[in-house]
Structure 1
Amino acid sequence: MKTVSERRTARGELSATGKRHFLIRLAAVMVGGMFLDGYILGIIGPVAATMMGDLRLTSLEEGLVAAAALLGILVGSPIGGYAADKFGRKPLFMLDMGLFVIASALQFVVDSAEWLIVVRLMMGVAIGAEYSVGWPLMSEFAPARLRGRVLGLTLIAWYSGFMAAFALGYVLTEYTDLGWRTILGTSTVIAGVLFVSRLGLPESPRWLWNVGRRDEARLVARRYLESEADVADVEHEDVRPGTFGMLFSRKYWRSTLFVSMFWFCAVSPYFAIATFADSVLESYGLGGGLAGGVGLSAVALSGVVLTVFLIDKVGRRVLTVPPQWLATVILAVIGLWAGAPPFAVLVLFLVFSFFNAMYNTLTGVYPGEVFPTEIRGIGTGFAAAVSRVGAGIGTFLLPMSMKTLGTGGTMLIAAGVALLGAVLSQWLAPETKGKSLTETAAGYGH
């Protein structure tokens, strides 16, 4: 008689060890994309002064260089989401990284502000598409018992990428003769490795089933999914095309509202308070430099790590709702406490960063869970675009607010945004721990 392992091999199914290795590989290449997102944003800081002098950038051009990647994400995420739902996860997962490799390599030869802005915009488009395909693809392969933890790893990767890039850029700028083009172009190495690592990955069985390719879906599901229950759940998928309008349908408008505005409210105060905190750190001699760029991110990273550890044990809501209320209170205290000693403001900021990072981790989990397969890509992409609007507001309107309203008024506005997120999450944040994707994406009416 054939063993269970031999029977599985005969019908193309991997062993339990093989399935575990596949999941690790998929998680690694997806997490790598989020690492790159943090990396390209973090690497700019250490070379900004040299780059500005070499290219003779105006203040406007410097701002556009910094903003180009965010704008690219704003454009790339909904387009990538639409394409991922229409043409499949697999081709987009390769195409976005291929675009990133090309754009990143062009950084070695840029010779004008205009070209640098275009290149950084292309990189942002690729990262935006990565948001829209990476999370859906990972959620569609991950077992329910591990899905929150695996998706949450992306936020660890983002903070780690930012910290690694800032540290590397700082060291290369201070202690080597490498030019700023070479330092920016270091992202090409990571992107190239990720592109090669993605070759041969399978298409999502849920997407295959959704577009009517049922035999292929069954083969992929049986080969890669962890359990028979996961395989059976794939066959619960509807066979229907997704449309952008479905995001605002009676069944899914709450999902769209929650994911988009939760994400918006999570990132907007973070960018505002991070900018404000730099002036506080300067009073301690920590503003800028290696300590300022890496140390503060490390506090946020610890919040993400704790959340990833707990998410599949305690659930989503307890890590989403209470931290937002705490963040709201902290921002309000900073705004109302006129004349607070710098040490107190510093402590409050660090506590805010920790709790904000906790619920920010859920921005990488909920999008892949609450939308059905036919609009999982476009739903994630739309929410990512809305979040980048929040990031832009936090980054670019803050200086004006600081001048006209002062730090107190600015922090109260940030507290108001956090309050909106807390109220929305109290109302709409679902508990998806341990549920199949069919259950999590059933809509609020079911």
Structure 2
Amino acid sequence: MTTTHNPGDVGETEKTRTAKRRFLAKLTAATVGGMFIDGYILGIVGNAIGAVNDELGMSLFMEGLTGAAALIGIFFGGPLGGWLADKLGRKPMFTLDLALFIIGSVLQFFVDSAWQLFFVRLLMGVAIGAEYSVGWPLLAEFAPARLRGRLMSLSEVFWYVGFMLASAVAYVLVAVFSVDWRIVLGTSTVPAVILFVVRFGLPESPRWLMNQGRVEEAHRIAHTYLEEPEDALDPGDGRPRRGALGMLFSRDYWRATTFISVFWFCAVAPYFAIATFAASVLADYGLGDGLVGALGVNGLALLGVLVSLLLIDRIGRRKLTIPQQWVAAVVLVVIGSWPGAPAGVVLVCFLVFAFANAMCTALTGVYPGEIFPTEIRGVGTGFATAFSRIGAGVGTFLLPWSMHNLGAGPTMLIAAGVCVVGAVVSQVLAPETMGRPLSETSAPHRP
């Protein structure tokens, strides 16, 4: 039997493929933009807090609390946003969390007390926490398996870009032009509004619809937007599957929950501590121009994430997760156990730490969306997000105290110990998910 091909059909097929590629690019931009504004609000406050303190006369406790307000908000917003995304859908939460962020960002223009600023930043953190547990699952559920690693790890790239851009913006506005700190903090409104517009018209996740028993709608969206429609639909009989927080600790998923939570905690705790206070830490080690070193630390971190992005769908997840944590531990041991090390050696070790740590940190934006099933993908990502913020908060709060009371050497050895814990847990529990559909990567695991 001879098959004839209609040129018009071929043209229509190519048009459809182009439309699908454009949709995936738009969804990716809409997702990584959320991570950009997360990095931005954390980077902007660290560089504007001096001007805030000059006007409001905050105590050291209040200064630290204000700086950590967004982290505290993320701790609560992650699980709450994920739970709502699993119950109500990805699409509505993807809009509501950003609307909440914009409200908080605008309110920064009008605060006139330390407590007002704290609560506004806390509100913004809640929105960002929800963003983690909505955006990543949504992108994971639309991304083709062959590109999922690169697209998901792109979020971490934009987090660093947002953090570094905020530092530059704050420095220019505060140090060069003496702009009021309210305006400096409020600049986060601009990218948030742009991102809000980008998100208009995005569809609901077909996996979430399938999980709700809305099979026909799920198939229609999958075939309209996805290059591999069947891979985007969980196999099943079309009956709704209800998730619950307790599933994270069940026999099927405790390994996934333990791995991503501990790994993420151990990746961000030393980084947040060292990167936040990089200039002062490096100065303590005899590097007078700590600012240049701090920029180097963050710049190498960005490069590390970019390297992981290029390799993640070629060599796999585990090769980018485990060795890098051991390298980070080793260089911190060198710094901590060699009190008389030349300043150049210390700087090189910090740069190597930043690069290696960032390479594995890129996986924190990939694994959560892959290892939990649809019914708990949001709350699972949210729980891991909250656990990681404990690490970020502990590192940020305790590093100044530890440097002052224990000294630089013991502090770096403690940080090395955190990296070792993350490496051991990853060695035992980290799965390999490269190139596999979500229905396989999130399948129950019973050793």
TM-score grouping bracket, smaller chain normalisation = over 0.9
Structure 2 counterpart SS, 1:250 = coil
Please give the alpha-carbon distance, in whole angstroms, between the structure 2 residues aligned to 1:313 and 1:400: 42
CA deviation profile, 1:219-253 (whole Å, cap 9, x unmatched): 11111111244256566887310000000000000
Please give the alpha-carbon distance, in whole angstroms, between the structure 2 residues aligned to 1:201 and 1:154: 18
The equivalent residue for 2:342 is 341
Equivalenced residues, count: 440
Please give the alpha-carbon distance, in whole angstroms, between the structure 1 residues aligned to 2:93 and 2:355: 34
Please give the alpha-carbon distance, in whole angstroms, between the structure 1 residues aligned to 2:136 and 2:352: 28
Distance change in 2, residues 1:280/1:45 (3 Å): closer
Please give the alpha-carbon distance, in whole angstroms, between the structure 2 residues aligned to 1:173 and 1:141: 41
Kindly indicate whether the alpha-carbon contact (under 8 Å) linking 2:317 and 2:434 is maintained by their aligned counterparts in 1.
yes
Q: How do 1:389-404 and structure 2 match up within 5 A?
A: 389-404=390-405
Q: CA deviation at 1:61?
A: 1.5
Please give the alpha-carbon distance, in whole angstroms, between the structure 1 residues aligned to 2:238 and 2:152: 21
CA deviation profile, 1:178-232 (whole Å, cap 9, x unmatched): 2111111111011111111111110000000001111110111111111244256
Kindly indicate whether the alpha-carbon contact (under 8 Å) linking 1:68 and 1:118 is maintained by their aligned counterparts in 2.
yes
Q: How do 1:149-228 and structure 2 match up within 5 A?
A: 149-228=150-229
Distance change in 2, residues 1:326/1:296 (3 Å): closer
Following superposition, which runs of at least 4 residues in structure 1 exceed 6 angstroms of deviation?
6-9
Kindly indicate whether the alpha-carbon contact (under 8 Å) linking 1:39 and 1:164 is maintained by their aligned counterparts in 2.
yes
The equivalent residue for 1:36 is 37
Please give the alpha-carbon distance, in whole angstroms, between the structure 2 residues aligned to 1:114 and 1:234: 50
- Structure 2 residues without counterparts, runs of 5 or longer: 1-5
1:53 matches 2:54: yes
Please give the alpha-carbon distance, in whole angstroms, between the structure 2 residues aligned to 1:237 and 1:319: 36
Q: CA deviation at 1:281?
A: 3.4
CA deviation profile, 1:285-322 (whole Å, cap 9, x unmatched): 4224xx35533211100000000000001110100111
Distance change in 2, residues 1:403/1:45 (3 Å): closer
The equivalent residue for 1:258 is 259
The equivalent residue for 2:3 is none
Equivalent AA in structure 1 for residue 224 of structure 2 = R
Kindly indicate whether the alpha-carbon contact (under 8 Å) linking 2:44 and 2:185 is maintained by their aligned counterparts in 1.
yes
Kindly indicate whether the alpha-carbon contact (under 8 Å) linking 2:336 and 2:409 is maintained by their aligned counterparts in 1.
yes
CA deviation profile, 1:106-152 (whole Å, cap 9, x unmatched): 11111111111010000100000000001000000000000000000
Please give the alpha-carbon distance, in whole angstroms, between the structure 2 residues aligned to 1:277 and 1:172: 21
Please give the alpha-carbon distance, in whole angstroms, between the structure 2 residues aligned to 1:340 and 1:177: 39
Q: CA deviation at 1:75?
A: 0.6
Kindly indicate whether the alpha-carbon contact (under 8 Å) linking 2:31 and 2:139 is maintained by their aligned counterparts in 1.
yes
1:21 matches 2:22: yes
CA deviation profile, 1:148-169 (whole Å, cap 9, x unmatched): 0000001100000010011011
Equivalent AA in structure 2 for residue 204 of structure 1 = S
Equivalent AA in structure 1 for residue 334 of structure 2 = V
Please give the alpha-carbon distance, in whole angstroms, between the structure 1 residues aligned to 2:308 and 2:78: 25
Q: How do 1:87-98 and structure 2 match up within 5 A?
A: 87-98=88-99
CA deviation profile, 1:79-110 (whole Å, cap 9, x unmatched): 00100000000011000000011100011111
Structure 2 counterpart SS, 1:326 = helix
The equivalent residue for 1:65 is 66
Q: Aligned match of 1:4 in 9, 25, 47?
A: 9
Q: Which shifted more, 429-438 or 390-399?
A: 390-399
Equivalent AA in structure 1 for residue 9 of structure 2 = V
The equivalent residue for 2:111 is 110
- Structure 1 residues without counterparts, runs of 5 or longer: none
Q: TM-score, normalised by structure 2?
A: 0.94
RMSD, aligned CA: 1.9
The equivalent residue for 1:443 is 444
1:287 matches 2:265: no
CA deviation profile, 1:54-91 (whole Å, cap 9, x unmatched): 12222222111101000000010000010000000001
Q: TM-score, normalised by structure 1?
A: 0.94
Q: CA deviation at 1:397?
A: 1.5
Please give the alpha-carbon distance, in whole angstroms, between the structure 2 residues aligned to 1:194 and 1:7: 31
1:410 matches 2:411: yes
Equivalent AA in structure 1 for residue 408 of structure 2 = T
